[in-house]
Amino acid sequence: MSTPNDDLVIKQFRDQISDNDLKIVELLNKRLKLVDKLWRYKAEQGVEVYNQAREEWMLTFISRANKGPISGDALQEIYRHIVEVTKNEAGRLGAG
């Protein structure tokens, strides 16, 4: 049975998680805007928009920066999905 104190602690954790979720959304949107600008610039300059080597470098970079507790495999899975969604959204915005 939970106590009023338990409810308060749970609410505080949930509030902190919600705050982090909002930050994640904000950062994902910032990332997309930057990718869109980069792709538009590359297209104007006649440079190949997508760079597989850069994507692999980024995955290595974030893996090395990871201090946990998320596993390297889980982090790479998340980032591969972020990259895929970003590519689709940048294409939707007209940069791809």
* Direct distance between the N- and C-terminal alpha carbons of the chain, in angstroms, rounded to an integer: 54
- Closest by CA to 35, choosing from 81, 77, 74, 91, is 91
- pLDDT the model gives residue 53: 94
Every domain of the chain and the residues it spans = 4-93
At the top level of CATH, which class does the domain 4-93 belong to? mainly alpha
Question: pLDDT tens across 4-31, in order?
Answer: 789 999 999 999 999 999 999 999 999 9
Cα 33 to Cα 85: distance, rounded to the nearest angstrom: 13
Q: Is a pLDDT exceeding 70 seen at residue 65?
A: yes
Binned at pLDDT 50, 70 and 90, residue 46 comes out as very high
- 35: CB partners within 8 A, 6+ apart: 86, 87, 90, 95
Q: Is the pLDDT of residue 95 over 60?
A: no
Look up residue 32 and give its amino acid: L
